[in-house]
Structure formats: structure tokens, C-alpha cells
């Protein structure tokens, strides 16, 4: 299994965004986690298409776009054109054309597709679509705000998801987003996570040292 680190630039210093994206890449991170919030599906507003287009010009890292927005299908083409490598949508948010058609739209654009759900939504809500996705993102905090602590209920969800994956022979990555730190990383890796999103624990302090610490912990637990 390949393990990937996806630093969330929501926690970066926006005055130094290009410099800090360069730093995570040089340190070995493979992904940039790009959180898009619309102020409707979640209360907060983050960044959108113009920033993504600029980030794409400045990096070859894999752009992992997490759309915390209502009816994401209407924006798939624009995110593809601005340089997204993957798009993950919320199972609760695809009201216009439905979840399956939204995932098919992402694939038609040649992108990796992911599906996620809020902490209060049961894993069973994803079951009809697990054969269609490249990645499942388990939200380990309530979406919309950074700096929250990881919910203990995350581990039960991961166990349930891993069981569904094994039973059906699915081949998707498992990503966790929210409250991931050096202190809980080992338990998440042992629980089956192979794509790790982290914000403050990467961008606060020495970025290169933090990335190295994350990969060291992964290596010690795999």
C-alpha cells in the first residue's frame, strides 16, 4: 500500500503560499489538499477557482480538491480546467444530479474521484457508490473549520469502511481529514488510512521537519 501525505493549505500562511507549497513538495509530500467551502453547505468560506488555477501553475504536486459545497456537479468542469487532479464530493450535498452522476462526471473529465461524508452520516450511505470511487475521505471533525480535535468515533467508521472494502474487493484509498497530529497518526495508519490530511501539524513550525516526522511515524507503523 502506498502512503500519501496531503498537507491542507487551509492552514498555510497565505502570504507565503507558493513558498510553503514548494516546501512541502521538497520535503516529500505528494499531495496538496485543497478545501473549498461555499458558506452554504458549511458555514465558512475558503478559496475557489482563481486560487486553484494559480496553485496549479506553481506546482506539479497532486491537487486533491475537497468540495464542501452544495450541488458540486455544476462546478466539476471548472475545477478540471483549473488543474484539479482529483475531486471529492460529499454524499449529502449532491442534490441536483445525484451522487452517481456527479462521480461519473468527475471521471469523464479524466480526474480521480472521491466521496466523503460528515461525522454524523453512517458509512452505509456510501455503500452504493464504493465501487465507483478512487478514494473515500472520512471526515474526522465537523467540516468547515480547521483546528478541531479528531473525533473518537472516527475509528469505528474506519473499521466499518475497511470491512466493506475487504468484503467486496474494492480498491480505493482511505483518507482522513481533521485533527490529524503526530500523536494520533500511528493509530490512524494502523486503522487502515493511507492518505493523511493534516494542516497545522505540518505548517506550524519547521515544515520540512514536520513532514519528515509524519513519514517516520508512517514507516514505524506499516
Residue from 35, 38, 64, 173 carrying the catalytic annotation? 35
DSSP 29-79: --EEEEEEEBSSSSS-B---HHHHHHHHHH--SEEEEEEESSSGGGGHHHH
213 is catalytic: no
Report CA torsion sign: 69, 32, 129, 147: negative
- CA-to-CA distance for 19 and 169, rounded, in angstroms? 41
Residue from 38, 64, 173, 177 carrying the catalytic annotation? 177
- CA-to-CA distance for 196 and 177, rounded, in angstroms? 7
13 is catalytic: no
**Computed over its alpha carbons, how large is the radius of gyration of the chain?**
16
Listed in sequence order, the residues at least 6 apart from 167 whose beta carbon sits closer than 8 Å to its beta carbon are none
- CA-to-CA distance for 11 and 17, rounded, in angstroms? 10
Residues catalogued as catalytic: 35, 177
Amino acid at each position: 500500500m502506498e502512503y500519501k501525505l496531503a498537507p491542507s493549505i487551509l492552514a498555510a500562511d497565505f502570504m507565503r503560499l507558493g513558498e510553503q507549497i514548494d516546501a512541502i513538495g521538497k520535503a516529500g509530500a505528494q499531495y496538496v489538499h485543497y478545501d473549498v467551502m461555499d458558506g452554504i453547505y458549511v458555514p465558512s468560506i475558503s478559496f475557489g477557482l482563481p486560487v486553484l488555477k494559480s496553485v496549479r501553475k506553481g506546482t506539479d504536486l497532486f491537487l486533491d480538491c475537497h468540495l464542501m459545497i452544495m450541488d458540486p456537479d455544476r462546478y466539476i468542469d471548472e475545477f478540471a480546467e483549473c488543474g484539479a487532479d482529483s475531486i471529492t464530493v460529499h454524499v449529502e450535498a449532491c442534490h441536483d444530479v445525484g451522487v452517481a452522476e456527479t462521480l461519473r462526471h468527475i471521471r469523464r473529465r479524466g480526474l480521480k474521484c472521491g466521496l466523503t461524508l460528515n461525522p454524523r452520516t453512517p458509512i452505509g450511505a456510501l455503500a452504493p457508490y464504493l465501487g465507483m470511487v478512487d478514494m473515500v475521505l472520512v471526515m474526522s471533525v465537523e467540516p468547515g473549520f480547521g483546528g478541531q480535535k479528531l473525533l473518537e468515533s472516527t475509528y469505528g467508521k474506519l473499521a466499518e469502511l475497511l470491512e466493506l472494502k475487504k468484503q467486496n474487493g474494492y480498491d480505493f484509498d482511505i483518507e482522513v481529514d481533521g485533527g490529524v497530529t503526530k500523536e494520533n497518526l500511528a493509530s490512524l495508519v494502523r486503522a487502515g488510512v493511507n492518505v493523511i490530511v493534516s494542516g497545522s501539524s505540518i505548517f506550524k513550525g519547521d515544515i520540512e521537519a514536520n513532514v519528515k516526522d509524519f513519514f517516520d511515524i508512517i514507516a514505524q507503523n506499516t
